[in-house]
Structure 1
Amino acid sequence: MPSCRPKGGKTPLSSPKKENSTTGGMDPSHEKHKEETILIISKDLIRTLRIPRKDPPKKSITLPSAEFEQIISASRFLTQEEREALKKTYQKEREEKLRAAEEEKSRIQEAELSQSKNRELSDLELEAQKRAQRLVERAEALKMEQEEEIKQLNQLILGTQCQATCDAQIEEKDQIKVELAEEEKRLDTLMEKERRKALESLEKMEELRKQQLIRGRQEICDQILLNLEERQLQEEIKEQEKLKLCQDQDRKNLEDLKTLEKKMLEKKLLQEEIIRINAEVAKAKERRAEEERLADTRAMEYLQKKLEREAEYEAEQKRIKKEKEMEIARLRAQQQRAKDHKAEQDEIRAKRNQEAEERRWRQKEKELAIKKAREEAKLRAARLEQVQNKEHCLSIEAGREKAAFERVLEVQQEEMAKQKENEERKREKAQQHALAIRQQVKERELSAAARRKETFKEADRQMEEARHRQMKLAEIKEKKLQQLRDVGLSEKYCAQVERKAQKLFQPYLKN
């Protein structure tokens, strides 16, 4: 049961039991610290003296739960029924203390009567006697407390103390109301500031997100426009390069065509020269064949003429012979044997001369034929060598032309391969560039999505923090309300505080 005591004041009445418990008892929290004590036994009482320690432990005071509850309950505003019950309890405790004092007085008096012999009293006995005297006086004072006037005086003092306590509690309550109002106002202002700050932060984040989104879109548009311009520029450069390449290729083709025409003309001239040489060779062969035919004809004519001459010669010889024979016959007749021998000698000599002449003519013809054959052989060899040289030169020239043509063809093929490789490389580069642009656009989209996701996560986190803060505030509110209920605050005021707290937390619940 809570006691009605003024805050910071003392009760005008004291109890021996309380004094005994204060002087003789020990706090259970200090039992673990064993202190040195001296037990003094006298005829009146038993005393325990505690020897102070040189270095007492410096520790905080631990209050028992009952005393703590009594202190808490003492600060409550007591109703009329509680004050009446408190008075009855206090009077009952006083009566019990008076009975205990009377019993103690009787016991002490009996002890004094039993020990009052004619002997000297020691200092301890004198002190015990004085203490007993004081107890007797205190018992008398307690007895006086039972008088009606003293009771009324005590009731008046108790009422005054209770009224003072009530006034102090009312004043403290008013002060608490003022402080609660100020705290509520401060909390309202603080919560409004926090709410506005959170709204401003969310608005700033939303504006920043919108600006970042607009900036990202603008950057993507700028990048797309830049890529389009760069692509158009690349296409123009590519078209110019293609045009230049086509012009170069046309020029090279024209030069190659001119070179080829020149070579074809040279080849044609060479072929014409070869045809001409072949014609000349054929003509030479024909001339040679004609000459051989003519030579054969001449030889046949010569042989024919020779045969004719021989025939004529033989005929002439026959005629001459016949004439000679006739002359010889005539001369024989004239000269007989001498003349016949001389004619025979002449005939032999003439025949020999004729044979020598024929041999010389045949030798000369033979030498002429051999010389002619040699000249013809030399001519044929020279013609053949000339033809072979011509064919060799034509073969070398054809080989050179073929090598040059192959080199030109190889160069053209290499240039075409390089051109194709360059075009392939440019195409791959364009594809890589397009892929890089697509990758960049994709990365920007992913980055924008990540930023949006991060913004949403940040908003969710702030909302979660707001919900967590609201839960903590609700817990603190419930705890404070429970503390107000525990200290005995009226439920009306608790409900009023709860309504105000609910009204205070309502904006955050909406957010």
Structure 2
Amino acid sequence: MSITTMKSRNPKMSNDNKRVCSTLDVAMLLPKKLRQPATHGKDVLTLKGPDMVRKLVVPGPEPNIHPIYFDKVEFCRLRRQSKVLTPEEKLNQQEAAEAARKKLEKESAERKEQLKSFEKHRVKSVRLAELEADAERKAAHLLARARELQQESQDEVKCANRLIISTKCHAIRSAQIAEKQLIQKELAEEEQRLDKMMEQQRMIGLKEEEKRKEEESLKNQRYLQALLHQIQENETERIHAAERKEEESRLMNEAAMQVQLDELQAYRNKLEEQARTRQYLSQVNEQLKYFQDLEREEKRQAELKVQKFMADKAAREAALEEEQKKNRLAKELEIARLRAAQERMADLKSQQDELKALRTQDEVEREWRRKEKEEALKKAKEEELLKQARQEQIAHRRSMQAVEIAREKQQFERIIRSQQLDAERERLDLIRRQSELEAYRTAILKQINEKERERIHMRKSKFQDGEALRAEEEMRKRELKLTMKRKIEELRANKVPDTYIKEIERQLKLTDID
């Protein structure tokens, strides 16, 4: 099979001279450095403008066509893609792909199930092995415990236990006595040490007391000398102080005399000033009295003038009225009416003003009383509200205290009930555990006794001669002695003195054990 892999429009390579190659002839692509540029064999024009230079390629009559070489993989891929599939082939491919996918899924599911079964089998085997090992450990522990209980029920072991307990009591008693004697000895030594220390302290105190007395005697002597010296200095100072005091007294007397003279002169000046002031005040009073008399006289003259003026005015008015009586006769009634109206109006106005003033005063007093009443009511209301608030606060506080007390009481009762329930629950749980333990112990002992009876029965039925029984008895005695030996080792581990241990071994006859 061959295909055409290179085409060219170059006249040098016509269609008649096509290169035919197979897939084995395709090896590599043509390197880029062997390719010719786009301007190869073409004219290039240069256009210079005011702001730029442009190069234009003149198209040639024949375009540049470069041959392409493919490698084997690319060529095979292109060949596969160049094949056009029919709808039947596409459907077959899809069905084949779907069948392959289902097959893979089925195989994957089978592998998963197989792995899960392996894992389950492995986990089951591991858990079974663990359970079997745990059961074996429990059975071994129960068997060992049963043997211990069986041995503890033997008379020899009971006797050994009583002997060991008695020995422990004697050892503890001896240790307590020894400890008490040691404490008494230490107390006696401590008392002797304290007596010796107190004697040493007493001697040291005596020496210090003698030394202190000597120092105090020397100190008293120095103090006496200093006191005598101070007395002499005080005497000298007292003499100088007396002289200074006498001089100060003289100066103070002179100063006091001068002060008295100054005070006397000031008092005289003050008396003169007071006399001048009284004289001036008397003159002023006389002037005031003169002016007051003058003012009263002027007022009296003015009143006389007013009375005279009013009398003259009344006379003139009477004469004028008499003269004009005829002329004013027509107007007299109108004038009288108007005057009466004016007087009534004036009286009414004055009454209204008075009433208004009284009303205003009444309103002011009423407003003041209202304000006072409102203030009193407000104050009483505030006091009542404050009293109610205090009572409410006290009641709220008491209710809160009662609630708190009730809550604390409920909490205390709840705690007590909870503790009682817990105690009852613990007691019942303890009784239940004890009963379970007792039942378990009874069942174990029953099983052990049954097993032992079966074993004895089987041994008796199997071994009828006395040698087997003696061997079994010897084995039992040896196990008992080993148990006693283990108890002796426990005593040694508990730091029991060897004397008591040897005595127990002697009484139990354990010295002949290998």
TM-score normalised over the length of structure 1: 0.25
Larger radius of gyration: 1
TM-score normalised over the length of structure 2: 0.25
Report 1 or 2 for greater relative contact order, CA contacts < 8 Å, sequence distance ≥ 6. 1
